[in-house]
Structure 1
Amino acid sequence: MNTFKANYFRRLLAITFLSALVAMTACDQKGPAEKAGQKIDQVTEKAGKDLENAKTSVAKDATTAGNYMDDAMITAKVKETLVADDLLKATQIEVTTVDGVVKLNGILSSEQLIGRAITLVTSQKYVKSVVNELQFSAGEVAK
């Protein structure tokens, strides 16, 4: 009888072991739900990365737009200052600004007017530096 019980328990143990092995193998196989879950995870991760890239791009574009607005504001203020000056208001000075650097271009009738224009522009808020391309022409008369 002891042998019968021992054989019975061995068979029961073997059946239990095989059942557990089959169950574990079945769990390792990915069904449609698991595959769908993985797809959702991948799409969510990609969307997160795309969102982060878009955020970085928008911030960069906003900075560029801000710089452009600042440059436009500086140019407008410099032109306003030049026109408001009694000695320079009749002159034709072209003003451009890039990243706070103001470039002056034109022909003036005296070196003193060139110096005055540079001094006025340099004193303006947010002007980092001035590129002087103003020229002196003794024959040029202020218009």
Structure 2
Amino acid sequence: MFTERDRTLLARPLYAFLTIAPRDGRWPSPRPVWFEASDDGTLQMFSEPDGKIARIRTQPRASVVVAAPVGEPEHWVAAEGTITLHDDGAYDLAARLGDRYWPAIGPEQRKLLDDWRNSGIVRLVLTPEKVHRFAV
């Protein structure tokens, strides 16, 4: 579903804004997350086991928006679809994304990676059903 131009944008170390079903009485509230666009057309992220994970289990639909930074020609990609949770591969994904998003891994980053390893992080996989885009 992603075009070659979409894949070029998604290959960059940009934040994705993940939106899931909100808690009762709350508005949807996108959260910036690290992500990886996989060869199979999915988007993978990870999360600590928190309220977000419980809401995804109840309502496994989500959307993700990734946009080029200010100062570049406008370009964004929005994907919506089913999101699944996986206990396997979360730490490996986090470590790969750490290499992608951190220019250098120092003691603080190593501690955070260790914390993630021990916190039971979960891998989230969004399978797009619709993709919207805009590019100048």
Larger Rg: 1
Higher relative contact order, chain-length normalized (CA < 8 Å, sep 6+): 2
TM range (shorter): under 0.3
Higher strand share: 2
